[in-house]
Amino acid sequence: MAARVVPHLPPRLVAAAARAVYPRFEPELARLGDLCPAGCGTAVDVGGWYGPWTRRLCGRARRVVTVEPVPHLARLLSRTAPANVRVIQAAAGDRPGMARLWLPQDDPGDRGVSSLVRRDIHARAVPVRVVALDDLGLRDVGFVKVDVDGNELAVLRGATALLARDRPALFVELESRIQPVAPVVTYLGLLGYEGWVLPSDRWVPLAAFPLREHQAGAAHVASHGLLRRVLPFSSRPRYVNSVLFLPDGRRPGGPRVRDDGGHAVR
């Protein structure tokens, strides 16, 4: 019902409502201090949608770069975002070019489930520009959020030089019902990153949390729409579908754990 009503409402109203309720949908957003380091130079929001992450990041980082492929959402973000936000109308991937962005039949992109990776909910495609984060000239990157419904590994491969140089914190949506989780975890592990999840009120190492089994047991929650999942009087189990990756022994909200001596090799 919400998906059918949204196209008839003023876009600014929809965007404001989405930003207001989103921390109930993704509680990690309310713990931004654990994710985005203090004094962050540049924060990157890959998959901006209506801007719930962009708006909060712009108050914590000096610069925010938001990558959003859906044309009308990118235009809305450009018109309404604060001055320190740069919006790029494109999809993120491992190399620049053009690609097909897949959408459900009656959804222009408002549901936030568009992707370069087609799955059963997708029925039509539109051409979009693709950029690699490494090619955007970003500097002093302290935080990157990735929500791309299945194209996560390509986005991270396209940011390999950035990750090696700036060592930002990463917040990546990973859902085993869409794509296997192991390739992303393995790839980031090779780059010196370890995962953390927030199943309740404490961060838990991903290595100690059965993410795939948890998602299988709470899969029915994922099928609920945003509205149903944010209503204050509704009761549901927590559905963990995002992982915080930190490099070099860092812990959520804590200081970096450094190597013992200048001779050590990262």
- Give yes or no for a contact between 94 and 158, defined as CB atoms under 8 angstroms apart: yes
Mean pLDDT by 10 residues, the chain (266 residues): 57 62 71 88 96 92 97 94 96 97 88 90 94 97 96 97 97 92 97 95 94 86 56 64 95 61 44
Can you give the pLDDT at residue 29?
85
Burial class for 98, CB neighbours closer than 10 Å (0-12, 13-18, 19+): exposed
pTM score of the predicted model: 0.84
pLDDT for residue 153: 97
d(CA 113, CA 256): 35
For 88-140, the pLDDT digits (tens) are 999 999 999 999 999 998 888 888 889 999 998 999 999 999 999 999 999 99
pLDDT value, residue 25: 61
**Residue 144 pLDDT:** 98
Give pLDDT, residue 38: 80
Neighbouring CB atoms inside 10 A of 91's CB total 26
3 state SS of 100:
strand
pLDDT tens readout for residues 126-142: 999 999 999 999 999 99
What is the set of domains in the chain, with CATH numbers?
2-247 (3.40.50.150)
Q: Which two tokens stand for residue 196?
A: 């953390």
- Read off the tokens for 30: 């309310």
Instruction: Please name the helix (run of DSSP H) or strand (run of DSSP E) that holds residue 67, with its range, or none.
Output: strand 63-68
